[in-house]
Amino acid sequence: MFKISFFTPILMLQPCLTNFAEFIETPKPVIPKTKFEIQQNINWSLNILVLLVVIIGFIFLYLRYKYKEQHEEETRVKLKQFDTYLNEYYVNDMLKE
């Protein structure tokens, strides 16, 4: 009948033995870090952290200096309002007596 031509080469292949040890991945060697390398990594992290703290401190001081006059003016206005309130209260209190 019909002859299927692509099955014949597949059926004619002979099995071959394989060494499965070749497929096993050998673990990579672990290189331990020395105390100097560990300390150097920690020092870099601490230096970056201290630098960020110093930069944030300078920004805070600059903004405080920049808005110093504005805060002083607001404080003066509030003190004047409080003073006028107290004077009115004393005057009203004296008039009631």
**What is the distance between the alpha carbons of residues 12 and 3, in angstroms, rounded to a whole number?**
15
Q: Model confidence at 5, in pLDDT bands (50, 70, 90)? A: low
- Position with higher pLDDT, 93 vs 59: 59
Tokens coding 86: 């107290």
**What is the distance between the alpha carbons of residues 8 and 4, in angstroms, rounded to a whole number?**
7
Q: What percent of the chain has pLDDT over 70?
A: 84
Q: pLDDT tens digits for 20-54?
A: 778 888 888 888 888 888 888 889 999 999 999 99
Neighbour tally for 37: CB within 10 Å: 10
**One-letter amino acid for residue 70 of the chain:** Q
Longest CA–CA span in the chain (Å) reads 131
What are the residue boundaries of the structural domains of the chain, listed by start?
A: 36-66, 69-97
pTM of the predicted protein model:
0.50
Helix (H) or strand (E) holding 37: helix 35-66
